[in-house]
Amino acid sequence: MSRSKPRALIVGASCAIGLLYADRLARRGYDLVLLACAPARPNDLATILRRETSADVNVHAVDPSTERGLAHIETLLAGKERFDLVVNNVGMPAGAMLVDEQPERLDRLLNMNVRAFARLSAAAAKHMAKRGEGAIVNLASAIGLAPGLATGAQGAGKAFAIALTRTMQAELTEPGVHVQLVLTAATRTDIWPFPICEPELLPGMMTAADLVDAALIGLDRREAITIPSLEDTGRWSCHDRAQRALLSALLSGEPARRYRD
């Protein structure tokens, strides 16, 4: 029997951004599958959404940094269940500088920010390409545009997420499939709607609610890249043109004059 309602899969649903995507999508008429390392908050939100909306909400306890967790998500996306939207919100916060980082934590950070991000992106791409329609939202920190400003492997992981998503946009050419890259700047990590979690009060930080609401407007407009905090979109256009011009300049076929004796 075909489903009459759209269905969304949200990976990383225990953080503020994931919870807010769940709330907003349920109120837009979506049924939800929420995947979270720590399912307590998603379960609490699911209770609220079942009471206040008509959404069917299922919560799975899944750790994408593990092979077992990745296999579970890939099985969901390879199965018969249809997902109209996949929100890829996996990621770990910054750790220590590389010279101070413990190998075990570095492995976990790379497993989440690089390996899991890539595997989930690939599984979502296969799912949407097979259906010929749907949308994928990949979230990445804007620090990936200047990875040297981050500590340890954090910036490099986010740079990977940006590059991979843009590759997906080039490869998924089906007209009914859309891939959106959402670049987040500094975002408050208060866990709505649970008031016991106090928000940071640092200047220049966007609330998670404002971030998600802006990102959904960008999705409605089928933006390839949504940067909620960027007022002048011409700056992104300049950045994009500069990258392409630099790449073109590298294709000279011979060493630059300064390297010739």
| pTM: predicted TM-score of the whole model, two decimal places | 0.91
Distance CA 185, CA 210 (A): 12
Predicted local confidence at residue 199, as pLDDT: 57
Q: pLDDT tens for residues 26-42?
A: 999 999 999 999 999 99
Residue 1 has pLDDT above 80, yes or no: no
Is 174 part of any domain?
yes
Is 75 part of any domain?
yes
Q: pLDDT tens for residues 56-66?
A: 999 999 999 99
Is 201 part of any domain?
yes
Whether residue 60 contacts residue 34, with contact meaning beta carbons closer than 8 Å, is answered with yes
Q: Please state the domain count of the chain.
A: 1
**Mean pLDDT, residues 114-123:** 96
Is 242 part of any domain?
no
Q: Sorting pLDDT into bands at 50, 70 and 90, what band is 148?
A: confident
Report the CATH number at residue 25.
Answer: 3.40.50.720
* Residue 227 belongs to domain spanning: 7-232
Is 152 part of any domain?
yes
Is 244 part of any domain?
no
Is 257 part of any domain?
no
Is 104 part of any domain?
yes
